[in-house]
Amino acid sequence: MQTDPVREDPELLTAVAGGDLGALRVLYDRHSPWLSARLTRRCNSPDAVADVLQDTFVALWKGAERWRGEGEVAAWLWGIAIRRLVSRLRGRREVLVLPLEEVAAARAPEASTEDMVLLGVEYGDLGAALQRLSPEMRAVVQATVLDGLTTREAARLLGIPANTAKTRLHRAKAQLRQNLTEGLA
């Protein structure tokens, strides 16, 4: 994967907005691998992931000028991709969205000590507190807090009513707060 060190992402976006297909290709090489890996963790259908990836870069091609020039281009791209995933899944129940813990549980029954160490480094008490949430609540926390979706979008992604998503997020926050204060005590 050769990347041109001279041309930064924002510069490439400007070129794409001007109709430079070569610049789109460089951006694609840089961002499609991690985007596809991240989407695959949220959706079990390779076809759906491929469609979403295609939609994302076509949207980028058509709307590169919409980037405001603030923050990471990667974060902006993820925002497009996760919303494309949500709309791709609307009304298509054959595509299953796997909450992360189900993917992990299916393939790795036990968390290794190494994981726990890494967790401690990255999240400390918060990591442990997150892990104590029920899978349903964690899925909502992940979709909203980590993926940056609104509760409405998260509900659509997870296939639950919007109000349920809202309630779960609310409860999850309360539980996290409680777990963290208990941890301090």
Partner 1 sequence: MNVSWHADDDLLTRYVSGTVGPLDGASLEQHLTGCADCRVRIATHVDVAPLELVWSRVREQAQAPAPTLVERLLTGLGVSASDARLVAVTPSLRTSWLFGLAATLGFVGLGAAYGGTRGLTFFLLVAPLVPVAGVAFAYGPDVDPLYEVGVAVPYSGARLLLLRTAAVLVTSLPLVLASALLLPGLSWTAVTWLLPALSFTALVLAASTWTRPTFAAVGLGIAWACAVGAAALDRDPYAVLAPTALLVYAVTGIAAVLILRLRIRRLTPLGSLS
Q: Which residues bind partner 1 (CB under 8 A)?
A: 1, 3, 21, 24-25, 28-34, 36-38, 40-41, 46, 50, 53-54, 57-58, 61, 72, 74-75, 78, 100-101, 103-104, 107-108, 111, 115, 118-119, 121-123, 127, 130-131, 138, 142, 146
- Which of 33/159 has CB closer to partner 1? 33
Question: Would you say 38 or 173 has its CB closer to partner 1?
Answer: 38
* Cα 183 to Cα 20: distance, rounded to the nearest angstrom: 53
Kindly state the smallest distance separating residue 161's Cβ from partner 1, in Å.
23
- Measured CA to CA, the distance from residue 179 to residue 185 in angstroms comes to 10
Task: Give the number of other CB atoms < 10 A from CB of residue 166.
Answer: 17
- What phi, psi does 97 have (nearest 5°)? -95, 125
Quick one: 131 or 164, whose CB is closer to partner 1? Answer: 131
Q: Which residues contact 125 (CB under 8 A, 6 or more apart)?
A: 179, 180, 183, 184
Q: How far is the CB of 121 from partner 1 (least distance, A)?
A: 8
CB of 36 to partner 1, least distance (A): 6
Query: Nearest Cα to 90, choosing from 157, 164, 149, 43?
Result: 157
Torsion of CA 69, 157, 149, 145, to 10 degrees: -120
State the minimum distance, in angstroms, from the CB of residue 105 to partner 1: 9
CB of 136 to partner 1, least distance (A): 13
Q: Which is nearer to partner 1, 21 or 185 (CB)?
A: 21
Answer whether 15's CB lies under 8 Å from 23's CB: yes
